[in-house]
Structure 1
């Protein structure tokens, strides 16, 4: 398991207004893995504002170009986010994600919960509105979408799930949970959470395994739950 990365002293450390450097949980010559905070968009959207992409120069660590995102997380989803440090790394990472060779596990707190302790959700997804491609729905002619789940705890009408997206569709975990009858706590789009003053989306990218170099052990990283999820997880049996 990767340990938190420490900044090197052999180059100047630039200003880090978002506190990204302390949030690195893996760093090597090819890959960075960041524990992305909830509420930070990775790219610019119609609403504007600060994004992760604006601050990637902070994570150069002496290289001539900024690292780039190998995949993405939703604005409200915290946890493991992978960046490639150079072009060859990005090409390799892109291939791994495209082939489905990257193992990703998310944790979610959901309202209610599935009857079974483990299983699969196999529901095709498509955009609800072509003008808003991020807004998804279950559709018979949509893209195949598969999620595996395991119950890690139950209490008080909620469940703590480990979710493994076999496919990587937009909002896949959020739609799959909602459409199966157990929406993610704090989901303002597919659940019943209010847009303001709610508990925050209780979903984060817990861990990731990257078989980057076939001659070496896979790169493994694990993020800790964001602050807004800790109370609900503790009530379901999680111990910090």
Structure 2
């Protein structure tokens, strides 16, 4: 095959990084090759030049240049990967809930959700350990930052992934995060409606509050409430994002003057030695339409470092509620 091809991004590939999309469809293509093809404009999305880190949306056309087609023609079929026993046990310990359609796991802090430059271990690369005898490899339908802990939803087939991706896209999924932040917000509850953009900083691209006239600004909305506080020095917040932008909660907390504890890139330093360097942001709960009907609500327990911080600050850490399936 020698000509240029356009492929359409499917629903279950919503918000996937461009480089990962290429590695999914063309396993033999290296990260370096993808980045070079982006730099030279041979790979395009919706007719535009893009970076390897660009997030894709359903319905967009991805230009597949001849070098990629040639490499794909030479690729031999690959056997289904087999997870080793240790990896399977590690993954099973993360499982909070599973049925025939979905699996929910409690991701530990420090484990990347997906691969990227310099990342050798990530959750997406371990999902063969959660097949449970099924035909399909579980699929991610959303992500968490590497240092954010908590609940992640997996689909057990491509069709289920498409349904769940649509639920996220139409904002039918209710997400609850817990964070420990610096200071005491005033007012103690509210709504943060500030668009975000990506900017270059020390160490690479970061998110930031967008200028009102920024053409690349993405709408971002977060509701928050103060669940408890230790004087005026630290607060425990419930965060409820209506959108899912990169680092949205971290930037929004910093924007109202209350950075998340341990979030050094966004101003979350602390003078409490035991807390330094550990991000205090946890994806606590998901409530969403179950693909087989009705709704499902699942909560994830806190990490050890956040439990310790709660104890130091006198916050009461309620036990997570058992998974609750309400059939429609």
TM-score band (shorter)? Answer: 0.7 to 0.9
1:40 corresponds in structure 2 to: 111
Contact 2:101–2:292 under 8 Å retained in 1 = no
Aligned residue for 1:170, secondary structure, equals coil
CA distance in 1, matches of 2:268, 2:226: 22
Quote the offset at 1:23 in angstroms: 1.5
Equivalent residue in structure 2 for 1:177, among 245, 248, 253 = 253
Selected match of 2:85 from 15, 32, 45: 15
Specify every segment of 5 or more residues in structure 1 that has no aligned partner in the other structure, as ranges: 1-12
After superposing the two structures, state which structure 1 stretch, 88-97 or 108-117, moved more: 108-117
SS in 2 for 1:105: strand
- Give the alignment partner of residue 310 of structure 2, picking from 214, 218, 233: 233
Give me the whole-angstrom Cα distance separating, in 1, the residues matched to 2:134 and 2:205: 33
| Conserved 8 A contact 1:107-1:203 | yes
Higher helix share: 2
CA distance in 2: counterparts of 1:68 and 1:133, whole angstroms: 28
How does the TM-score come out when normalised to structure 2? 0.65
Please show how residues 90-239 of structure 1 align to structure 2 within 5 Å. 90-129=161-200, 135-139=206-210, 140=212, 141=214, 142-156=217-231, 157-193=233-269, 198-213=276-291, 215-216=293-294, 218-234=295-311, 235-239=313-317
Equivalent-residue separation in structure 2 for 1:134 and 1:170 (angstroms): 11
For 1:34, what is the secondary structure of its paired residue? Answer: strand
Aligned length: 226
Q: Contact 1:134–1:170 at 8 Å: present in 2 too?
A: no
Q: CA deviation at 1:73?
A: 0.4
**In structure 2, do the counterparts of structure 1 residues 236 and 117 end up closer, same or farther at CA, with 3 Å as the change threshold?**
farther
Matches within 5 A, 1:27-66: 27-66=98-137
User: Residue 164 of structure 1 aligns to a residue in which SS?
Assistant: strand
Does the residue aligned with 2:264 lie in a helix, a strand or coil?
A: coil
The alpha-carbon deviation at position 189 of structure 1 amounts to: 1.3
CA contact (8 A) 1:70 1:84 kept: yes
Structure 2 unaligned spans of 5+:
1-82, 319-328
CA RMSD of aligned residues (A): 2.3
